[in-house]
Amino acid sequence: MQLTWSLKPFYSLTLDELYQFLRLRSEVFVVEQTCPFLDIDNKDQPCHHLMGWTPEGELAAYTRLVPPGLSYEEVSIGRVVSSPQYRRYGIGRELMQKSIESIGQLYGQVPIRIGAQLYLKKFYESFGFEQVGEMYLEDDIEHIQMLLKVG
């Protein structure tokens, strides 16, 4: 599936783009994963938002690129999500690759730290991320911190 990618700082988003990614995050993280949590956490404003759009104009994939010092000392990729109806097309891999590339464009070749759901460990390892630290619970879901080193 051919997606069109857009990367925008928060204050350049259209209302429709904002609505679409908040809806997708809610659909997956709250409804699909049955995890009631406060998704709107006051971290969106200083972030860049990477969005993958279908030719029909539907949001298929999204990540939040978090500047250093907000979630971690390092820059981070968060709210990694793909729409359930498009997962069979392998867009998750493209989403992570585009996220890593976008961080390189924004911040240069810097380490990237993520808080990953434990069941996705091998997926993130395939991009070079390594587990750092022990498993922890976040919103009753097992997570691990992972780091992608540079050089």
19-42: per-residue pLDDT in tens? 999 999 999 998 988 888 888 999
CA distance 1 to 84: 14
**Domain assignment of residue 121, yes or no:** no
Structure tokens at 14: 């259209």
Please state whether beta strands 75-82 and 112-117 pair in parallel, antiparallel, or not at all (unpaired).
parallel
DSSP letters of 30-81? Answer: IIITT-------S-STTSEEEEEE-TTS-EEEEEEEEPTTTSSSSEEEEEEE
Smallest CA-to-CA distance from 77 within 101, 99, 106 is with: 99
28 in a domain, yes or no?
yes
Contact 96, 102 (CB under 8 A): no
The CATH number of residue 23's host domain is 3.40.630.30
Instruction: Please report whether residue 115 resides in a domain.
Output: no
Residue 114's identity, in one-letter code, is: I
Mean pLDDT, rounded, for 65-81: 97
Determine, yes or no, domain membership for 84: yes
Domain that holds residue 13: 4-110
- In the chain, % of residues over pLDDT 90: 86
Q: What total number of domains does the chain contain? A: 1
Residue 62: exposure state from Cβ atoms within 10 A (0-12, 13-18, ≥19): buried
The strand pairing partners of 48, in sequence order, are 9, 65
pLDDT value for 11:
97
48 within domain boundaries: yes
Residue 43 lies in a domain: yes
Spatial separation of the C-alpha atoms in residues 146 and 132, rounded to whole Å: 5
At 96 the pLDDT is 97
- Is pLDDT at 151 greater than 80 in this prediction? no
Rounded distance between C-alpha atoms, residue 121 and residue 28, angstroms: 18
| Rounded Cα distance, 142 and 119, in Å | 8
